[in-house]
Amino acid sequence: MDILFQPFAFKGLQLRNRFVMAPLTRSFSPGGVVTAQVAAYYRRRAEGEVGLIISEGTGVARPAALNDPNVPRFHGERELAAWKRVLDEVHAAGGAVAPQLWHVGAVHNRSSNWAPATPYESPSGLTRPGRKFDEGMSEEQVADVIEAFAQASAYAKALGFEAVELHGAHGYLIDQFFWDGTNERSDRYGSPTLPGRARFTADMLRAVRVAVGPDFPIIIRISQWKQQDYQVKLATTPDELEAWVTTLTDAGADIIHCSQRRFWEPEFNGSDLSFAGWVKKLAGVPVITVGSVGLTNDFISGGSGEAAKVASLDELVRRMERDEFDLVAVGRALLQDPHWVRKVREGRTGELQDFDRAALATLT
Ligand SMILES: Cc1cc2nc3c(=O)[nH]c(=O)nc-3n(C[C@H](O)[C@H](O)[C@H](O)COP(=O)(O)O)c2cc1C
């Protein structure tokens, strides 16, 4: 396991090991303000030796950035003061944090009738291919969203966070621009090509870079799969993937967080390289892998009730040894057990826990 416990340094970021807490929405922040219980929950992960904590998705300053009133915002005096308490607690325990900046785009709240005060914002008013609810954002709204991400990034830096992550995955706003199934725009943010549809994100990355300066790490999370379609691939060949991710790195992305449901799955035929492995090879920047680390089942099937049992880390180590990725994000295993990383380091594998959906109900 030693390779997973090598320190990692990038720009100002100094991590004690290669483990990252994956962003996990918990909806325990009433009125959009993180509570003392949420701060203690993150502190426990830092005490449990997580290298970098990526926060749950937190909303940028747009009225329809979020679809749930219990998800925290990353703007406003009270909201930012509460986030500062999270940061102080994590720092006191030797950890580092990056907020995950989020705009849900066209993804409506599915579990209640709650809706934001203004209409959901999206590239073309499509919740999924073929399902239209309005005409999509004006160019002015697009510019305001870009500005909101830049402003939130500036807050993150000013408060003392170690990095920011832009949520560009899973079918939310940024990903809705990437995907031709939800981006039918005819202005400069629409295009038949993936690099063309990545222009929105490239403009955002450049604005974020101006806001945070050259030395502050910008992470972007991307995925081929969408919650609207688990099988879709934005890039169907390595060449398309290279064109996409180099558009992002050229615009200022430092680290790419490659979301897969199962980290070991090959991305393209003819090679066993994962999504993260391909991105590292093609973009030449540090990458984060994620997806069922330490568990037998992925989080989508796990979410529908299947059990996720403890699984071996041998394949993770094998891929790390061949330099397929730099960092490893862990979601449910860390949601279940704040001491997961420490237990792995100490070889206490017999004490690792299965993931039980009951863990979602509390902030353990
Ligand atoms: C309860 C829950 C909440 C999540 N919230 C987010 C989120 O806010 N942002 C995000 O990018 N991914 C989110 N994800 C996805 C996780 O970050 C991660 O990619 C996924 O759980 C796979 O990792 P795992 O198999 O180790 O759990 C969430 C997953 C779960 C289970």
- What is the distance in A from the centroid of ligand 1 to the CA of 6? 24
First to last CA, the chain: 26
The verdict on the CB of residue 259 being under 6 Å from ligand 1 is yes
Segment 112-137 mean pLDDT: 95
Ligand 1 nearest atom to the CA of residue 261, by list position? 22
Q: Using a pLDDT cut of 90, give the percent of the chain over it.
A: 95
What pLDDT score was predicted for residue 302? 64
Choosing from 42, 172, 189, 230, the catalytic residue is 172
The verdict on the CB of residue 331 being under 6 Å from ligand 1 is yes
pLDDT confidence band for 113 (50 / 70 / 90): confident
- Known catalytic residue at 172: yes
In degrees, rounded to 5, the angle at the alpha carbon of residue 70 between the alpha carbons of residues 216 and 106 is 75
Exposure string for 99-133, b = 16+ CB within 10 A, e = fewer: bbbbbbbbbeeeeeeeebeeebbbbbbbbbeeebe
Q: What is the mean pLDDT of the chain?
A: 97
Side-chain half-sphere of 300: how many Cα atoms within 13 Å? Answer: 13
Mutate to test the pocket of ligand 1, among 19, 20, 21, 24 (most ligand atoms within 8 A of CB): 24
Q: What is the pLDDT of residues 64-84, one digit of tens each?
A: 999 999 999 999 999 999 999
DSSP structure string for 5-60: GS-EEETTEEESSSEEEPP------GGG---HHHHHHHHHHHHTT-SEEEEEEEE-
Residue 2 buriedness (CB in 10 A; 0-12 / 13-18 / 19+): exposed
In degrees, rounded to 5, the angle at the alpha carbon of residue 91 between the alpha carbons of residues 90 and 96 is 75
pLDDT over 90 at 164, yes or no: yes
What pLDDT score was predicted for residue 300? 86
The verdict on the CB of residue 25 being under 6 Å from ligand 1 is yes
Sequence-ordered list of residues with C-beta below 8 angstroms from that of 207, at least 6 positions apart, any chain = 146, 147, 149, 150
The CATH number that domain 2-361 falls under is 3.20.20.70
Residue nearest to atom 21 of ligand 1 (CA): 331
What pLDDT score was predicted for residue 306? 67
CB of 230 within 8 A of CB of 277?
no
Both tokens of 348, joined, read 């206490």
The verdict on the CB of residue 216 being under 6 Å from ligand 1 is no
Residue nearest to atom 18 of ligand 1 (CA): 331
pLDDT over 60 at 304, yes or no: no
What pLDDT score was predicted for residue 305? 59
- What is the distance in A from the centroid of ligand 1 to the CA of 150? 24
- What is the distance in A from the centroid of ligand 1 to the CA of 103? 15
Segment 289-305 mean pLDDT: 85
Ligand 1 nearest atom to the CA of residue 303, by list position? 31
- What is the distance in A from the centroid of ligand 1 to the CA of 288? 14
What pLDDT score was predicted for residue 234? 98
Distance CA 169, CA 248 (A): 13
Segment 318-335 mean pLDDT: 98
Distance CA 270, CA 240 (A): 16
Residue 240 buriedness (CB in 10 A; 0-12 / 13-18 / 19+): middle
Ligand 1 nearest atom to the CA of residue 360, by list position? 1
As beta bridge partners, residue 9 has 14
The residue ranges of every structural domain in the chain are 2-361
pTM over 0.95? The answer is yes
- Classified as helix, coil or strand, 115 is coil
Sequence-ordered list of residues with C-beta below 8 angstroms from that of 124, at least 6 positions apart, any chain = 132, 135, 136, 182, 183, 184, 185, 190
The verdict on the CB of residue 226 being under 6 Å from ligand 1 is no
- Classified as helix, coil or strand, 255 is strand
Q: What is the pLDDT of residues 218-231, one digit of tens each?
A: 999 999 999 999 99
Q: What is the pLDDT of residues 181-220, one digit of tens each?
A: 999 999 999 999 999 999 999 999 999 999 999 999 999 9
Both tokens of 340, joined, read 């997961």
The verdict on the CB of residue 293 being under 6 Å from ligand 1 is yes
pLDDT confidence band for 303 (50 / 70 / 90): low
Residue nearest to atom 26 of ligand 1 (CA): 331
The verdict on the CB of residue 23 being under 6 Å from ligand 1 is yes
Q: What is the pLDDT of residues 15-74, one digit of tens each?
A: 999 999 999 999 999 999 999 999 999 999 999 999 999 999 999 999 999 999 999 999
- What is the distance in A from the centroid of ligand 1 to the CA of 330? 9
Alpha helices in the chain (DSSP H): 36-47, 77-92, 139-159, 173-178, 194-197, 199-212, 238-250, 275-283, 299-303, 314-321, 332-336, 340-345
- What is the distance in A from the centroid of ligand 1 to the CA of 19? 15
Distance CA 10, CA 317 (A): 21
Residue nearest to atom 22 of ligand 1 (CA): 291
pLDDT over 90 at 179, yes or no: yes
As beta bridge partners, residue 227 has none
Both tokens of 120, joined, read 């959901």
Q: What is the pLDDT of residues 80-98, one digit of tens each?
A: 999 999 999 999 999 999 9
What pLDDT score was predicted for residue 29? 98
The verdict on the CB of residue 22 being under 6 Å from ligand 1 is yes
